[in-house]
Amino acid sequence: MHHCAIDSGVLHQQHKITLQNVFDVKTQCDKYVAGFWAIRPLTNKMISYAVGNVRAMIPEVYEEQKRLMRENNLDFEKRLVETIDCGIDPNVRKQRFNQQAEIIRQIINSIDEKGNADTNLSYFSEESDERLALQRFPIKDAKQKSDLIYRLKTESIENYLRKMDDTIKAEQGKFVPEYYTFKILTEIQSYHGDKNIIKQAMQLKEQIKEIVFADIETKYSMETSLEDLTYWEQDALIYMNAQRIWDSPKIRRRLFYIMMEASVDRKGKHLQKYGNKYQCNTKFYQKLKFLARYRSI
């Protein structure tokens, strides 16, 4: 299920292929292989081997597991189908986001009611719903909720940054961000009050951007469209420093301008729709002004 929504969306948009649930499996590993396939092109020989392996497994594995799943009416199928659709249908994605937000609020409320001054992050197991909820609960909301929740949120952030730093050092150029990596780091920069935490988030964000940019130069060409980029590659371009753009390689520079053009078109439509009620992001507006002024010289 790891990044299934992203893979589903890419396959649907580029090849009109919609994934279907076949059987239930959960494999824990030190490093997910999704990142490996994201940066390494498939040769004809590799594709041939992969096709052969799949064909060999269809009768004994896929068909048998699919039969068992149908007979036992496994609930996991519904969840996986929903995950697949998230990468294709914006309405499904929005609905699921709202459902998750409500569940997170319920868990946070429970922590706030049952916790006390001695409660800390280590009180919850690594894979617990409480840890996941604290990680995804917005910093602004945590500040408003209570001192306990904000303290636990800060502990969660420190733990998140420490783990990410260790992972980047271990994997170096092979590090693959997750769907929300850039958004989480940006939220920390913007809304947390601790200068040391903000500095660490900024440093990690810059390291990850450089890793992603190196992948972009390896994977793509001057004909690449935005639809071919992963979510984190688009985020890396969005958060790119405009002052560095003219010194950047051609492929990255071209994709940056395509991204900016798409953003301007999208925000222009919002302005037409909402009029004076629409508020443009200040940082985006400043970046746009800088680019327009520089190019006019």
Domain membership flag for residue 148 = yes
Domain membership flag for residue 193 = no
**Token code pair at residue 270:** 């919002």
Domain membership flag for residue 112 = yes
Rg (the chain; Cα; Å): 22
Domain membership flag for residue 46 = no
What does the H/E/C string look like for 96-151? Answer: HHHHHHHHHHHHHHHHHHHCCCCCCHHHCCCCCHHHHHHHHCCHHHHHHHCHHHHH
Q: Calculate ∠ Cα 277-279-284, nearest 5°.
A: 160
Ranges of H-type helices in the chain? 4-15, 34-39, 44-57, 63-72, 76-86, 90-114, 129-136, 139-145, 147-171, 181-191, 195-219, 231-238, 250-274, 282-296
Domain membership flag for residue 103 = yes
In order of 28, 199, 231, the CA distances from 217 in angstroms are 31, 27, 16
**Token code pair at residue 286:** 């400043």
The residue with tokens 């753009």 is: 245
**Following CA atoms 273, 276, 281, 282 in sequence, which dihedral angle do they give, to the nearest 10 degrees?**
150
The angle, 0 to 180 degrees and rounded to 10, between the axes of the packed helices 129-136 and 147-171 is 90
Domain membership flag for residue 124 = yes
**Token code pair at residue 192:** 């947390």
Q: What is the pLDDT of residues 63-108, one digit of tens each?
A: 777 777 677 666 556 666 666 676 667 777 777 778 888 999 999 9
Sign, CA torsion 247/251/252/253: positive
Q: How many domains does the chain have?
A: 1
149: containing domain: 94-175
Domain membership flag for residue 104 = yes
Give the span between the Cα atoms of 203 and 9, in whole angstroms: 30
List the pLDDT tens digit at each of the 297 positions of the chain.
445 676 777 677 777 777 766 544 443 344 344 554 555 566 777 778 777 777 777 777 777 777 776 776 665 566 666 666 766 677 777 777 788 889 999 999 999 999 998 999 999 988 889 999 999 999 999 999 999 999 999 999 999 999 999 999 998 888 889 878 999 999 999 999 899 999 999 999 999 999 999 988 888 889 888 888 888 899 999 888 877 888 889 999 999 989 888 888 888 888 888 888 888 777 777 787 787 776 543
Give the span between the Cα atoms of 273 and 277, in whole angstroms: 9
